[in-house]
């Protein structure tokens, strides 16, 4: 579609009292990010961020702070008096700021996160094609009870005669299946001319945007409707249970998208995969895996059950064994992790490196082909290529006030149960004997022993036993 002349207003001022939450409704999350951010993402595929106006009210500062990085504009609805009142604030914003009024204004809901860019485009396309003053997005749920109904002039025509609330339906209209989604497109000047004529003469004493449809029809203007492909696209979330329904629907769509791209996901209904996750073809994801945030996984990987990978990047051919936790980590091609490895932020695991059972890393670079296979803590360290880190080795990086660096050169061998007290450097090719406490730098190719000499006392144990008799 040609988006020239379009702007988008997003209703995001409501409190969401039925959620029983202190958090603003539009900042509740599904699919790994706030409801409002999903709507903004979809809107930005149609118009630029500068042409998107978020109408904020309840907890306005908190909502503004959460979405300001998207670059959208904000309109304050300090007192929430209905959908019509929200658009009155948009009209006032254009007047007060001198902003050029767009020819067309699309209205979205900040709590309807499954709206697809393709559907937004279809609304705008029909609006232009039909030369409409107002275009309404509709849907047909299994049970329309409780929703306002859209009445068409004829079932096979786009023209709409009215939007009627459930309580106002006549008996012969109760079977009308098509519901109003609350998503509209207007010719802006025709909308703005009607906003001042809205009345609060209704049960809730609010200004309703739906009343504009009847006003435009009475003026002989074209009001048309387009049906969404899926009712899920237009569903909002008024309770936590409804929100989790939307979350499940979004995650299932994400899994379907990945599978269509060649990713094998066993038991996708058991996996938690955020909408922003990308996975390469021929990767296998086993049941009960969580992939969160903007995680990127390459091709030919295997992610085994009960692993949680957040905001991390994995190369190609990576194996993540059972129960691993990754947070803001980078893993290169061919690496093998786990089981039960914990990669904390700024862990960088090199090509074909191994991080094994109960190994924890933090702010570590582990070089190509290096191995830390058992019961290690590696923090604030740079470890070269081809290094072997034995079982039970730890870097002592914290002195109670500051963190310090450990540097291990290529090809070094760190014997089991050694402690490396930072700041310390182990040279390339050096050996650290098992059980050593290393407090001084070790030259390249040297052997370091940081332990007491063993002394054997023959007969000591037998004499001790005899003394106890």
The catalytic residue positions are 374
Which residue in this structure is represented by tokens 């969580």? Answer: 290
Residue 456, exposed/middle/buried by CB under 10 A (0-12, 13-18, 19+)?
Answer: exposed
Select from 33, 190, 43 the least CA-distant residue to 107: 43
Q: How many CB atoms lie within 10 A of CB 460?
A: 9
Angle between helix 35-43 and 60-67 (nearest 10):
50
First to last CA, the chain: 97
Select from 174, 188, 6, 165 the least CA-distant residue to 82: 165
Rounded distance between C-alpha atoms, residue 273 and residue 317, angstroms: 20
CB contact at 8 A, 181 and 138: yes
Phi first, then psi, for residue 409 (nearest 5°) are -75, 170
Q: How many CB atoms lie within 10 A of CB 196?
A: 10
Type and span of the H or E element at 161: strand 160-164
**Contacting residues for 245 by C-beta, under 8 A, at least 6 apart:** 235, 237
Select from 96, 91, 86, 56 the least CA-distant residue to 73: 56
- For 211-264, give the DSSP string: HHHHHHHHTT--EEEEE-S-GGGG---SSHHHHHHHHHHHHHHHHHHHHHTT-E
Helix ranges (DSSP H) in 35-105: 35-43, 60-67, 83-97
CB contact at 8 A, 95 and 109: no
Pairing of strands 52-56, 73-76: parallel
Q: Which residues of 320-348 are buried (b: 16+ CB within 10 A; e: fewer)?
A: bbebbbbbebbbbbbbbbbbbbbbbebbb
């Amino acid at each position: 579609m040609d988006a020239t002349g379009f702007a988008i207003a997003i209703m995001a001022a409501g409190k969401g009292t039925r959620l029983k939450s202190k958090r603003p409704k539009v900042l509740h999350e599904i699919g790994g990010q706030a409801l409002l951010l999903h709507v903004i993402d979809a809107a930005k595929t149609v118009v630029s961020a500068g042409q998107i106006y978020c109408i904020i009210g309840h907890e306005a500062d908190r909502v503004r702070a959460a979405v300001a990085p998207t670059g959208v504009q904000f309109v304050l609805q300090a007192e929430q008096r209905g959908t019509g009142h929200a658009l009155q604030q948009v009209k006032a914003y254009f007047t007060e700021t001198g902003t050029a009024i767009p020819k067309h204004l699309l209205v979205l809901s900040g709590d309807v996160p499954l709206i697809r860019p393709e559907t937004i485009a279809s609304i705008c396309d029909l609006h232009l094609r039909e030369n409409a003053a107002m275009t309404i997005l509709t849907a047909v749920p299994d049970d329309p009870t409780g929703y306002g109904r859209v009445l068409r002039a004829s079932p096979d025509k786009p023209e709409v005669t009215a939007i009627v609330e459930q309580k106002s339906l006549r008996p012969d209209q109760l079977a009308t299946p098509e519901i109003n989604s609350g998503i509209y497109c207007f010719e802006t000047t025709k909308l703005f001319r009607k906003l001042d004529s809205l009345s609060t003469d209704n049960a809730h004493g609010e200004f309703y945007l739906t009343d504009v449809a009847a006003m435009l029809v009475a003026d002989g203007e074209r009001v048309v409707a387009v049906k969404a492909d899926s009712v899920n696209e237009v569903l909002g979330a008024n309770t936590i249970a409804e929100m989790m329904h939307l979350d499940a629907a979004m995650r299932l769509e994400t899994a379907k998208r990945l599978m269509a791209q060649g990713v094998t996901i066993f038991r996708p209904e058991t996996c938690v995969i955020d909408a922003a996750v990308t996975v390469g073809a021929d990767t296998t994801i086993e049941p009960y895996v969580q992939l969160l945030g903007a995680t990127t996984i390459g091709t030919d990987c295997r992610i085994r059950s009960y692993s949680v990978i957040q905001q991390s990047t994995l190369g190609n051919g990576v194996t993540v064994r059972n129960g691993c936790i990754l947070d803001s980590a980078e893993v290169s091609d061919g690496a093998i992790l786990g089981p039960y490895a914990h990669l904390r932020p700024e862990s960088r695991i090199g090509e074909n490196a191994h991080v094994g059972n109960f190994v924890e890393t933090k702010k570590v670079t582990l070089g190509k082909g290096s191995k830390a296979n058992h019961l290690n803590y590696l923090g604030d360290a740079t470890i070269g290529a081809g290094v072997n880190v034995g079982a039970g080795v730890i870097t002592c990086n914290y002195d109670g006030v500051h963190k310090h660096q450990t540097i291990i050169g290529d090809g070094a061998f760190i014997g089991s149960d050694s402690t490396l007290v930072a700041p310390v450097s182990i040279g390339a090719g050096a050996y650290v004997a098992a059980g050593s406490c290393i407090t001084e730098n070790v030259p390249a190719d040297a052997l370091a022993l940081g332990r007491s000499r063993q002394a054997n006392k023959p007969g000591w144990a037998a004499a001790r036993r005899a003394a106890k008799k």
